[in-house]
Amino acid sequence: MTVENKVVVVTGASSGIGASTVKLLVKGGAKVVFGARRQEKLEEVASGLDPDQIAFQETDVTDYQQVKSLVQLAVDRFGKVDALFNNAGIMPMAAVSEDNRDEWQQMLNINVMGVLNGISAVLPIMHRQGYGHILATDSLAGYKVYPNLAVYCGTKFAVRAILEGVRQEEIKNKIRTTLIAPGMVETELYKSISDPKTAKNLVDTWHEENHALKAEDIADLVVYAIGLPNYVSINEVKIRPSVEL
Ligand SMILES: NC(=O)c1ccc[n+]([C@@H]2O[C@H](COP(=O)([O-])OP(=O)(O)OC[C@H]3O[C@@H](n4cnc5c(N)ncnc54)[C@H](OP(=O)(O)O)[C@@H]3O)[C@@H](O)[C@H]2O)c1
């Protein structure tokens, strides 16, 4: 089990799960190409990492050309793409009756189209290579619906369906898929919640003893899945704090 010399592209890498995964992959000897919208946060993630092992660029996953360019950066710099980790996501919380149409659209664009943009950008490269691994950060909200999260849940159900479809279609091309479905993880995700009271409640819950995982807990799992030999495929994992229902 090793990620040494694997080339991995990570989206949503400026904080939380994505940033932790980048660091752990680099520690394991992988070459990592990563992106997100906030350039200054990407630079923070890169500081202290071996520059020979990384490349990064500002990338909005809703823009297909930007995602293609990130994936191409991996090929230009390191010659291949072993794995793509589609991790970017937002989670605004509100009842459907609040009619936050802009937030719905943003969630669909980032959480669903962002993943599809990644898949679309990387598949031709993986087909040419004759191997590849596509991962995505889903959520327990991709299995179960919660109030005030109806649209978010919808996006995460969609990601699960899409990745399972890709798994079935791409078996013949030796492309593996892995869906990681976390419960509560303490990250910056609350910042995408527009209602300050709701955001504070979520953070307070995270801070209850053992109530939230750390981003590193998810990164461990991602690195493990990528490091497995090509004939082994972890397709879906639920990971939650032991105290979470
Ligand atoms: N935290 C949890 O409890 C939890 C539970 C289950 C699933 N998840 C999922 O885990 C994933 C990572 O979230 P996180 O918890 O690590 O939260 P986070 O710290 O807020 O990270 C989200 C990342 O996505 C990036 N992002 C957002 N919109 C983007 C866009 N349009 N283009 C590119 N990057 C974008 C953000 O960077 P920029 O703002 O710089 O673009 C950031 O790097 C998400 O898919 C989330 O749904 C989280």
Alpha carbon distances (Å) from 117 to 62, 113, 128: 7, 6, 18
Is residue 1 assigned to a domain? no
| Ligand 1 touching residue 21 (CB < 6 A) | no
Q: Show the low-confidence residues of the chain (pLDDT under 50).
A: none
Is there an atom of ligand 1 within 6 Å of 14 CB?
A: yes
Domain for residue 245, yes or no?
A: no
Other beta carbons less than 10 A from residue 5's beta carbon: 13
∠ CA 40-111-165, nearest 5°, is 130
Phi, psi of 91 (to 5 degrees): -140, 65
Do residues 38 and 234 lie in contact, with contact meaning Cβ atoms separated by under 8 Å?
A: no
Q: What's residue 110's pLDDT?
A: 98
Does a structural domain hold residue 193? yes
* pLDDT computed for residue 210 by the predictor: 83
In degrees, to the nearest 5, what angle opens at C-alpha 144 toward C-alphas 141 and 150?
Answer: 65
Task: Check which CATH number belongs to the domain holding 131 and give it.
Answer: 3.40.50.720
- 172 alpha carbon – ligand 1 mean position (Å): 31
Q: How far is the CA of 241 from the centre of ligand 1 (A)?
A: 19
Could you give the residue ranges of the DSSP H alpha helices within the chain? Answer: 16-27, 39-46, 64-78, 101-107, 114-129, 150-170, 196-207, 215-227
- What pTM, to 2 d.p., does this model score? 0.98
Sign of CA dihedral 161, 163, 164, 166: positive
Instruction: Tell me the pLDDT tens digit for each residue of 26-46.
Output: 999 999 999 999 999 999 999
Longest dimension (CA), the chain: 50
Catalytic residue numbers, as ranges = 152
94/146 Cα distance (integer angstroms): 11
Residue 208's pLDDT is 86
How much is the pLDDT for 1? 84
- Domain range for 169: 7-239
Q: What's the mean pLDDT when you consider all of the chain?
A: 97
Cβ–ligand 1 distance for 88 under 6 Å, the answer yes
Ligand 1 atom with least separation from CA of 18? 16
15 lines ligand 1 (CB under 6 A): yes
- Residue 145 belongs to a domain: yes
The CA-based angle 88-109-75, given to 5 degrees, is 50
Q: Give tens-digit pLDDT for 38-95.
A: 999 999 999 999 999 999 999 999 999 999 999 999 999 999 999 999 999 999 999 9
Report CA-CA distances (Å) from 129 to 119, 228, 240. 15, 18, 35
CA of 154 to the centre of ligand 1 (A): 16
CA–CA separation, 122 and 97 (whole Å) = 38
| Cβ atoms within 10 Å, residue 70 | 28
Pocket test for ligand 1, best of 185, 204, 216, 244 (most atoms within 8 A of CB): 185
13 C-alpha vs ligand 1 centroid, how far in Å?
A: 8
Q: How many domains does the chain have?
A: 1
Within a domain: 244:
no
Q: Provide the b/e sequence for 18-42 (b: ≥16 CB within 10 Å).
A: bbbbbbbbbebebbbbbbbbeeeeb
- Counting atoms of ligand 1 from 1, which one is nearest the CA of 59? 33
